Structure 1
Amino acid sequence: MSYWWVGINLMLVCLSAWAKLSVTAEPLRQTIDAPIEFTITQEDSKGLPNLVPLKQNFTIVGTEQSSYYQIINGQTSAKQQWVITLMAKKTGQLIIPAITLGQEHTKPLTVHITKPGSIAHQQPSAQSQNQAAIKMTATLDTKEAFSKQQMLYTVKLYNRLNLIDANYTPPAVDNGLLLAIGEGRRYQTAIEGELFAVNEQVYAFFPQQAGKVTIRPPIFQALSYDMSPKPLKITAPQVTATIKAPPVKLSSWLPAKKVWLDEQTQWPDTIKQGETFSRELTLKAVGLPAQMLPKLSFNDTKAYSVYSDKIKDNNAYQHHNVIGQRHFKVTYVCHEPGVITLPAIKLEWFNTQTQQNTATILPAKTLTVTAAPPAPAESASSPKMAIKHEGKKVPSSRVSFVWPGWILAAIFALGWFMTWFKMRAPKKVGTIPKRNRTKATDSLKNACYQNDPKAAKAALFTWMVKQFPDKDFRDITDLKGLNLPQDFINAIDELLAANYSKAPSSWSGDALWRCVSTYKPFKAKASPHPTLPSLYPDK
């Protein structure tokens, strides 16, 4: 009787254990190249399943764990679930062995594995399900356009799956330029009652040649883990456009919605001969990138020379339009006095909105150039003033009286001169140490010996600042305000020309260094014999 009661208790314990641990496998019949989802569900227990026995006949592709908690009438229950994705290693009847989880064991399952393609009705259903849950489109705003004309290529990715490890390959095209406009945008939309997350990216497409142009569509790859990890790869449909040749012959073909020129130059009223001034202009176009804008030409004349800085390009985006900006900065060196005229700048372009040829014109500018002042000559020493006493004899009493007066006047003059000199002497705080001036001079000397115009320009400016600390210099052309000799001015102009020249420089620093090494600031010489008015002027 006791043995019968023990057997019943053992059977109830086993039934209780099976109720707390369950397993499923879907599908039980699968091809060797398709996954199987093996699910373990455990109630009111903790621990991790031992998956090592599965590796005998299967490859573990992925594992996902989830936990559920429930409170009913104050009673708390917990459930844990593991979803293991398996790929069979061989065909035939394979056994998913019992898995140990803590002190419990799952029951073994049998699955039937066949060759690839032998179960045709299952794979299309999964594929169709993914295609309904994620898709990608690509469209052009117009099917026809002129070469270089902006077209909008829009890519949209619709998705309602949980994705990881996403990878996006952008579209590409031959004989054209594709620019992404901004960072794209993300929003949600409903399609046939289903809510999709949408990722949208707009590209500006600029074809370069007439004829048929095909854009290679983007590719999206990811891993879906809604039920089990599944690789996804989708491609947008291919798009083809017809590109037309320019309808008119222009010096430069610029199809755009708008083209204009901005000038940021502060024009001086007058400028001295030999001095320089800078001119800044910006060419802007709506519907054209900066890379496709032309280069403006500024030509030399007999009255002036022009030196161009490096062009700066920039692209901005507004309302699905590319706004190309090309910035020009040129320096003019005026050679002759008089009124000079800078010619107007005319740029022809094709308006894609009105389909008409038009032009943007920047009016001509005039500038007055004054003659350079002549180099100052050294002032000669003032001649001594001699007092003649023709036919007159100065009495001795008057001579004895003159000498004390002269001595007294000289004492007062000496005191006044010392006071003036002390007031005019520079303070020690603002002086530049001699070693700093020597270092600046050495740097300029090395740059001149190496015939390096860029280094010489920087070193000459440093030399100016160290040599004249009380001056407010902004450019090396400010040296011309110090009454330089003409050969020094010519050397500065040659240095500027070498820095702004388009062609390779053949500048020699000998002339500049000769002027710097022999330069001495001009100082008016005082008369060696200052004269005082006579105490007794002749009548």
Structure 2
Amino acid sequence: MVIRSLLWSRVAPVMLLSMLLGTMLSTPAFAISELTARVDKNPVMLGESIVLEVTADSRVPANSINFRVLDSNFTVMVPSVNQSTRVINGDASHSTTWTVTMLPKTSGTFTIPAFTIDNVSSKPLSVEIVPVQQGSGQLRDVFLQSELSSNNLMVQQMVYYDVTIFFSGDIQRGSLTEPQLDDALIQQVGQDKEGTELIDGERYRSITRRYAITPQRSGEFIISPPTFTGDVIDRESARQSYFARSRTIVREAEALPITVQAQPASYSGDWLVAGLVTLNEEWQPAQTQLLQGEPVTRIITLSAVDVAANQLPELNINLPEGFRVYQEQPQVKGAERAGRLVAQKVITSAIIANRPGEYELPEVKISWWNSQTNQLEQTVLPGRTVQVQADPIQPESTTVSPREPTQASPATAASPQSGSNWRWNYTSWLLVTGWLLTVILVAWHKMIWQKRRDHQASSATTSGHKVSHFDSKALRAACKTHHKNAASEQLLLWARHHKILTRGSLSALCERIRPGALKEQIAQLNAALYGDSAANWQGDLLWQAWSDYQHHEAPPAATTELPPLYPEQ
């Protein structure tokens, strides 16, 4: 019992003090008596950051002060709030501190207004912002400079914005935001470039980053500059101690104005502003004359400097009648060359001439606005004359015109029927006999030719030579596996098997097939054999079209049997 009383006498004061402190710390204190404000430096050079610190001698809500009143003259970062409590000899004191980093927008003398909490106000502060002057002898550890390639441009014209970070000390870490402009496309160009520069007798290291800005509407604008935030080594602490401290800095480049002009009212067509526009074409295979039915590949390349890839317009490419064109999806890409953006659109087409002759391919023209000379220009791909030779293997299609009735000679018309019926019948029998002899000779000749061909085929099989025959299963397998070469081979064997085509290519086969699904699928297969689109060719539609054609329109297979000598009447 004595031991318990002794322990209670020792523990009770400690518990009582703990409860008192807990009550003091948990109870918010709103009785504020003093509010102070100060800045870390004054005057300040333009581009340097100012740290504003406001302290209240009580625990107050974090949203008690509105720093938006500083937006007219400063760029205000998000403030940080710290609340603390100190107990000395049983007396507790509370404090709330707001720390906010600000960047001055222009040079001059500005007043930071008084802040008020519960009728307690701080004193206003006067801050002087001095402009940056070369040779002033006022050196900074880190500062930013920005530059525009042009501040007077057309709508949708690309302008280059360079921001350079100069620093004389060591940067532990850092981040740089992008410039901001309403209704504009902004993208970084290339990689950062490092260098050195001598400023006011001191050597500075530099990092330059380039942006491409494309405004989408006309008017007067201000480009909001990028902001650099980083940690640098404190020079003073580095001189006094081996373990140098780092400090956080915020720097901002100067804001730059631009003027964006509207598109001229006289301009017609797709609006394109560039530093240079070119058109080039290439033929594969390279040849001066084309062959009827043989596909060739035509590649037209549109290139533009100081243009994004999505700004390139469509090209109006026309061909005269007599050509079939299978155009692929245009390939659009962009790249950086010597600090400038270059965009390209590549249009690849497979072209097949249907008829021989001489054709004039029209020119390809594109209008654009030259940003270097500030005037309208046109880039033209000249037209060219193309000679198409007839295919020696494919027979030319001839159009048979109805013959005019032959006029009988006056002597024949005037002469009456003479001679007897016996003479007429005798002549008729001679003609019939001659016709029968001709039929017998033709049948005999065909039989001899068929036996010779069968003998040659059997000889080739005996000697080990492989004879190709049409196989519908092979055609189906080629279509299901999307094997274009095997499908083409089986289609040609099928055409020869049914006497649709003796020899030639898929182009010749297209001419012999009636318009329909099979004709379209054979044309697509023919185009896929000679272009980059071969990788995307699908054979399922060809197999379906061929199956439907076989069921409804295909002629019966050729037979080796001879026709009867005397057909039934």
TM norm structure 2: 0.51
5 Å matches for 1:294-313?
A: 294-299=313-318, 302-313=321-332
Q: Deviations over 1:453-485 (max 9, x none)?
A: xxxxx455453368899xxxxxxxx95178677
Q: Which one of the candidate residues 232, 237, 240 is aligned to 2:249?
A: 232
CA pair 516-185 structure 1, distance change in 2 beyond 3 A:
farther
Task: Check the 8 A contact 1:32/1:113 in 2, yes or no.
Answer: no
5 Å matches for 1:65-84?
A: none
| Deviation, structure 1 residue 493 | 5.2
Matches of 1:331 and 1:437, distance apart in 2: 25
Using the aligned pairs only, state the percent identity: 20
Indicate the residue corresponding to 2:395 in structure 1.
373
Indicate the residue corresponding to 2:296 in structure 1.
277
Structure 1 residue 256 corresponds to structure 2 residue 278: no
Matches of 2:252 and 2:310, distance apart in 1: 30
Indicate the residue corresponding to 1:449 in structure 2.
none
Structure 1 residue 183 corresponds to structure 2 residue 191: yes
Indicate the residue corresponding to 1:494 in structure 2.
520
Matches of 1:89 and 1:521, distance apart in 2: 100
Indicate the residue corresponding to 1:82 in structure 2.
none
5 Å matches for 1:470-485?
A: 479-480=505-506
5 Å matches for 1:82-101?
A: 89-90=84-85
Matches of 1:440 and 1:485, distance apart in 2: 23
CA pair 346-414 structure 1, distance change in 2 beyond 3 A:
closer
Indicate the residue corresponding to 1:383 in structure 2.
443
Matches of 2:229 and 2:522, distance apart in 1: 57
Question: What SS does the corresponding residue of 1:181 show, helix, strand or coil?
Answer: strand
CA pair 310-363 structure 1, distance change in 2 beyond 3 A:
same
Indicate the residue corresponding to 2:546 in structure 1.
512
| Deviation, structure 1 residue 218 | 1.6
5 Å matches for 1:443-454?
A: 443=480
Higher mean displacement: 516-525 or 147-156: 516-525
Question: What SS does the corresponding residue of 2:316 show, helix, strand or coil?
Answer: coil
Matches of 2:359 and 2:252, distance apart in 1: 62
Q: Which one of the candidate residues 325, 331, 335 is aligned to 2:344?
A: 325
Task: Check the 8 A contact 1:144/1:241 in 2, yes or no.
Answer: yes
Q: What is the root-mean-square deviation in Å for CA atoms of aligned residues? A: 5.1
Indicate the residue corresponding to 2:478 in structure 1.
440
Structure 1 residue 463 corresponds to structure 2 residue 487: yes
Indicate the residue corresponding to 1:103 in structure 2.
none
Matches of 1:318 and 1:148, distance apart in 2: 20
Indicate the residue corresponding to 1:425 in structure 2.
465
Counterpart amino acid of 1:513?
A: S
| Deviation, structure 1 residue 200 | 0.3
CA pair 32-141 structure 1, distance change in 2 beyond 3 A:
closer
Higher mean displacement: 326-335 or 519-528: 519-528
CA pair 91-198 structure 1, distance change in 2 beyond 3 A:
farther
Task: Check the 8 A contact 1:223/1:232 in 2, yes or no.
Answer: yes
Task: Check the 8 A contact 1:91/1:115 in 2, yes or no.
Answer: no
Task: Check the 8 A contact 1:32/1:116 in 2, yes or no.
Answer: no
Question: What SS does the corresponding residue of 1:132 show, helix, strand or coil?
Answer: coil
Matches of 1:382 and 1:256, distance apart in 2: 75
Indicate the residue corresponding to 2:376 in structure 1.
357
Indicate the residue corresponding to 2:258 in structure 1.
241
Matches of 2:186 and 2:257, distance apart in 1: 14
Task: Check the 8 A contact 2:282/2:299 in 1, yes or no.
Answer: yes
| Deviation, structure 1 residue 153 | 0.8
Structure 1 residue 169 corresponds to structure 2 residue 177: yes
Matches of 2:252 and 2:179, distance apart in 1: 10
Task: Check the 8 A contact 2:290/2:353 in 1, yes or no.
Answer: no
Question: What SS does the corresponding residue of 1:384 show, helix, strand or coil?
Answer: helix
Matches of 2:350 and 2:296, distance apart in 1: 6
| Deviation, structure 1 residue 116 | 4.9
| Deviation, structure 1 residue 304 | 3.4
* Number of residue equivalences: 365
Indicate the residue corresponding to 1:537 in structure 2.
none
Matches of 2:396 and 2:557, distance apart in 1: 14
Q: Deviations over 1:108-133 (max 9, x none)?
A: xxxx9987599999x99xxx9x9921
Question: What SS does the corresponding residue of 1:183 show, helix, strand or coil?
Answer: strand
CA pair 385-285 structure 1, distance change in 2 beyond 3 A:
closer
Task: Check the 8 A contact 2:518/2:545 in 1, yes or no.
Answer: no
Q: Which one of the candidate residues 145, 159, 162 is aligned to 1:137?
A: 145
Question: What SS does the corresponding residue of 1:294 show, helix, strand or coil?
Answer: coil
Matches of 1:113 and 1:225, distance apart in 2: 33
| Deviation, structure 1 residue 526 | 12
Matches of 1:308 and 1:420, distance apart in 2: 44
CA pair 255-90 structure 1, distance change in 2 beyond 3 A:
same
Matches of 2:310 and 2:454, distance apart in 1: 73
Counterpart amino acid of 2:346?
A: H
Matches of 1:381 and 1:258, distance apart in 2: 77
Question: What SS does the corresponding residue of 1:463 show, helix, strand or coil?
Answer: helix
Question: What SS does the corresponding residue of 2:169 show, helix, strand or coil?
Answer: coil
Task: Check the 8 A contact 1:215/1:240 in 2, yes or no.
Answer: yes
Matches of 2:296 and 2:457, distance apart in 1: 43
Matches of 2:455 and 2:505, distance apart in 1: 36
Matches of 2:491 and 2:455, distance apart in 1: 31
Structure 1 residue 215 corresponds to structure 2 residue 223: yes
Question: What SS does the corresponding residue of 1:171 show, helix, strand or coil?
Answer: coil
Question: What SS does the corresponding residue of 1:511 show, helix, strand or coil?
Answer: helix
Matches of 1:190 and 1:113, distance apart in 2: 50
CA pair 340-521 structure 1, distance change in 2 beyond 3 A:
farther
Question: What SS does the corresponding residue of 2:487 show, helix, strand or coil?
Answer: helix
| Deviation, structure 1 residue 345 | 0.8
Unaligned runs of 5+ in 1: 1-30, 36-86, 95-111, 387-412, 445-457, 470-477, 501-506, 529-539
| Deviation, structure 1 residue 295 | 0.9
Indicate the residue corresponding to 1:286 in structure 2.
305
Task: Check the 8 A contact 2:513/2:519 in 1, yes or no.
Answer: no
Matches of 2:469 and 2:282, distance apart in 1: 38
Indicate the residue corresponding to 2:164 in structure 1.
156
Question: What SS does the corresponding residue of 1:172 show, helix, strand or coil?
Answer: coil
CA pair 522-485 structure 1, distance change in 2 beyond 3 A:
farther
Matches of 2:149 and 2:445, distance apart in 1: 96
| Deviation, structure 1 residue 261 | 0.5
Structure 1 residue 146 corresponds to structure 2 residue 170: no
5 Å matches for 1:511-530?
A: 511-515=545-549
CA pair 34-385 structure 1, distance change in 2 beyond 3 A:
closer
Matches of 1:415 and 1:305, distance apart in 2: 43
Counterpart amino acid of 2:262?
A: A
